[in-house]
Structure 1
Amino acid sequence: MQQSNSQFIRWLTYLMFMMFAMTSDSVGEIIKEVKVAFEVTNAQASLMHSLPMLGIALSGLLLGFLADRLGRKTTIVIGLSVFGLACYSFFMANNFVFIVSLMTLSGIAVGIFKTGALALIGDISGSTKQHTATMNGAEAFFGVGAIIGPLIVAYLIHKGVPWQYLYIIAGGICTLLIVVAVWVKYPTYQPSAHNNGEKVTVRQSLALVKNPYALGFSVGAFLYVAAESAIYVWMPSYLVCDATSLKATYDCYSDGAARTLAIYSVTAFFILRAAGRFVGIWMMAHFNWALVLLLFSGAILVCFVGGLVGGKQVALYLFPLTGIFMSVIYPTFNSKGISCFPRHQHGSVAGVILFFTAAGAAAGPFIMGVVSDAMGGDAKYGFIVATGFASLLFAGLLFNYLRNPTQQRLQQIEASDYGTA
């Protein structure tokens, strides 16, 4: 009989995060093509990002309990199957409504398999510190996917191939992951054994929203993702020289290196974010996580303000640079939030945090698009909104560092679930 292999499962989880990122973080590049092809406004185009994020949000909140009720493996296979079906259906996508509908369906699927994967990380971790390190590893591979996806889209467009083939490629990877997920033996998990024999329900999952630990980290995730999505969704529109032109131009940058950076600014951001997450695995094992998040959120705020005050010529460097400072914030929010609860609730609380995460990713870019349209279409005004989100994030992390409200709770979970306090 096969023995459960934590290291193998860890890599499988990493690859799931990478596949998801290939599609979700390519949306900024795809939006530029769709706006021209279907003659849609900024607000309409932002639905390509906002509706899938809404799908993830509702799926995480209403279906996150499946990982605790059905088990991690079954939940992951169901989510991957729906995601693969949505990806292959892009082969027939030839109008704006159909494209947005498929993206929304893929978001619902992500909410299912991602909550299963997040719960699984707790099953294969030996301590809350290892949990945080593994979460940073998963998000590091998410960062790798975020680099690969936009590059594939750029290459396809350059070769005259429809960008929809990105989803066909993702569907192929998804099929492989389903086969592996069915084959591998997962750690033993008995859903009812940890809940007095009662089945986990959506009502129990929704009740977690009132918990101060779940709510605190969820609000932090909302603010962070709302600020982060401004970079990969609207930075390409902000950095173009003529916002009213149907074709992106970069003639306002004086030298070739600057123009190249403007063209590949999203890729540069994702490279820095991915590199920072690999470093974050080490950082979170050696430094005070609350202090690291405080300093990094402050650096993000400085970059946003500097990019707005200095204009495109300064934003060209400061906006992609935020990738380094954004790298460890979300995976640490996710890990510490989940680690505040016993393992048999990890799927449900992961769904709650995922709901707020996706809500931030949906609401942030949409609000920025609406504000930009109201101010004549200039993406600069959307970034003013994003700077507001970054300011609130910094204020919250300052409070977290000064008051340290989770210290006692994490110590209790360390002793009860991991036996390492």
Structure 2
Amino acid sequence: MATLRIRLSLLLTYFVFAILLNSVGTVVLQVIHTYQISKSAASVLEGFKDIPIAVVSFLIAAYLPRLGYKRALQLALTLVTAACVLMPLVPAFWTTKLLFFTVGASFALVKVSVYASIGVVTRSKAEHASLLNFIEGGFMLGVLSGYWLFSAFMDPAAPQSSGWLQVYWLLALLCVANLVLLSSTSFPTPELPAVQPFRQDFIAMLQLVYKPLVFVFVLSAFLYVLIEQGIGSWLPTFNNEVLALPNQLSVQLTSIFAASLALGRILAGVVLKKISWYSLLNGCLLAMALLIILTLPLTHDIHVDADVSLLSAPLAAYLFPLIGLFMAPVYPVINSVILSALPKAQHAAMTGLIVVFSALGGTTGSMVTGYTFANFNGQTAFYLCLLPLSLLLLSVGLFHRQSKLVTV
């Protein structure tokens, strides 16, 4: 029973953070209208989320076992509850920045704690893989639910209304409910690693990057997240301004992107039993480029009816988010390849690098896309994804070569 409660706590924590972390695109669209700010200004929200994830993960990952995974999760949920409550009470752009800063810093605690706790409550590799996939599935369900949850609090007739901020009362309530469950659940005491100075942990992490396989990996991870966050953060605004769809419908249709990512990862697990990971990723990256080239021309000269609905939106609104289907396998596969190539003693340091470069890629992607969107147009912003996509195709090729030639 205790193990079941722990698993449920981990799942619900990940679910809540999935909603908040992936609400950036929705919130970008809303703050542009509600607070009358520019796209370039709104694009910094991704940085307020991602940079704290990178910094906090980098600084305290090695010390979390001493703090305790349960305490770390409780701290994260408490901070995020307070930030959610502040959003409707003090409606301002600075509170939105504070929210994402808090969510990012807290998620760094959550991700390390959840992943480490999975190892504590499972007894075999098969059980570990099963629980990890189950919790990651809960994360994707949270992402998908978030788009519909936020859209339910939007008023299509008043896009500048601040009524959407009321969603944060519900999110705060979810955090409190999970905090109660977590506080009443006993966690096993983890085995503490040997104490060593922070400087040694820091140097050990940086030394990994000097290895050719790791260097090519972090480049690939950076480019992938740059593309994913560039599209994910700006797709609601693209639907609203380029496809001329109402705010609420723009967010609802963005859920196709999240659903495609979830489905793509499920299907990849089946396909990888039959073909090599390198063949799969090459096919996925080429399909992404083809979808961009074929779909974006359909977004020009769009005219929609005033009573446009979920079933009568332009074709491009359904087709472009399907890029998530081909994007989905890339990140989990390259993470699996690099971790499988490393001894377990280096997994913590490698996880730190994964988090850091993923966060930097996400921030860069959102800001570059936002700048291009503001100074050119939405089509140009998304066409620009072809450049990092081409570089990613090249880096994955180098990664494949190094994975065969180099023993890390």
Same fold (TM > 0.5): yes
Rate the CA distance shift 1:177–1:330 in 2: closer, same or farther, 3 A.
Answer: farther
Corresponding residue of 2:367? 366
Corresponding residue of 1:156? 153
Corresponding residue of 1:17? 14
**Higher mean C-alpha displacement, 395-404 vs 108-117:** 395-404
- The 3-state SS of whatever aligns with 1:191 is coil
Per the TM alignment, residue 210 of structure 1 is displaced from its structure 2 partner at its CA by 3.1
Rate the CA distance shift 1:382–1:161 in 2: closer, same or farther, 3 A.
Answer: closer
Which segments of 5 or more consecutive residues in structure 2 lack a partner in the other structure?
A: 301-313
CA distance in 2: counterparts of 1:74 and 1:133, whole angstroms: 25
The count of residues paired between Structure 1 and Structure 2 equals 388
Which deviations, in whole Å up to 9, do the C-alpha atoms of 1:141-162 show, x marking residues without a partner?
A: 2221111111111110139772
Question: What letter is aligned with 2:322?
Answer: L
Rate the CA distance shift 1:283–1:189 in 2: closer, same or farther, 3 A.
Answer: farther
**Higher mean C-alpha displacement, 259-268 vs 60-69:** 259-268
**Higher mean C-alpha displacement, 378-387 vs 338-347:** 338-347
Question: What letter is aligned with 1:102?
Answer: L
CA distance in 2: counterparts of 1:60 and 1:9, whole angstroms: 22
Is the CA contact (8 Å cut-off) linking 1:372 and 1:379 kept in structure 2? yes
Rate the CA distance shift 1:143–1:302 in 2: closer, same or farther, 3 A.
Answer: same
Is the CA contact (8 Å cut-off) linking 2:230 and 2:368 kept in structure 1? no
Per the TM alignment, residue 35 of structure 1 is displaced from its structure 2 partner at its CA by 0.9
Which deviations, in whole Å up to 9, do the C-alpha atoms of 1:339-396 show, x marking residues without a partner?
A: 5555565444323211111111111110111123332xx1222213322222222222
Corresponding residue of 1:294? 282
CA distance in 2: counterparts of 1:38 and 1:92, whole angstroms: 15
Corresponding residue of 2:293? 305
Rate the CA distance shift 1:88–1:332 in 2: closer, same or farther, 3 A.
Answer: farther
Is the CA contact (8 Å cut-off) linking 2:118 and 2:132 kept in structure 1? yes
Which deviations, in whole Å up to 9, do the C-alpha atoms of 1:191-241 show, x marking residues without a partner?
A: 23xxxx32463650453133135544433222111111222222233344x
Structure 2 residue 117 is the aligned partner of structure 1 residue 120: yes
- The 3-state SS of whatever aligns with 1:158 is coil
Rate the CA distance shift 1:65–1:407 in 2: closer, same or farther, 3 A.
Answer: same
CA distance in 2: counterparts of 1:51 and 1:364, whole angstroms: 13
Question: What letter is aligned with 2:391?
Answer: L
Corresponding residue of 2:220? 220
- Computed over aligned residues only, the root mean square deviation of the Cα atoms, in angstroms, reads 3.4
Identical pairs, percent: 23
Rate the CA distance shift 1:403–1:287 in 2: closer, same or farther, 3 A.
Answer: same
Which deviations, in whole Å up to 9, do the C-alpha atoms of 1:297-332 show, x marking residues without a partner?
A: 332232223334554567434421112122233233
- The 3-state SS of whatever aligns with 2:195 is coil
Corresponding residue of 1:381? 380
Which deviations, in whole Å up to 9, do the C-alpha atoms of 1:267-323 show, x marking residues without a partner?
A: 111122222334445555665444333332332232223334554567434421112
**Higher mean C-alpha displacement, 121-130 vs 269-278:** 121-130
Corresponding residue of 1:60? 57
Corresponding residue of 2:168? 167
Which segments of 5 or more consecutive residues in structure 1 lack a partner in the other structure?
A: 252-258, 410-421
- The 3-state SS of whatever aligns with 2:154 is helix
Corresponding residue of 2:398? 399
Structure 2 residue 70 is the aligned partner of structure 1 residue 73: yes
Per the TM alignment, residue 40 of structure 1 is displaced from its structure 2 partner at its CA by 0.9
Rate the CA distance shift 1:122–1:336 in 2: closer, same or farther, 3 A.
Answer: farther
Q: Normalising to structure 1: TM-score of the pair?
A: 0.79
Rate the CA distance shift 1:343–1:311 in 2: closer, same or farther, 3 A.
Answer: same
Q: Normalising to structure 2: TM-score of the pair?
A: 0.81
Rate the CA distance shift 1:327–1:124 in 2: closer, same or farther, 3 A.
Answer: farther
Corresponding residue of 2:356? 355
Rate the CA distance shift 1:50–1:268 in 2: closer, same or farther, 3 A.
Answer: same
Per the TM alignment, residue 120 of structure 1 is displaced from its structure 2 partner at its CA by 3.2
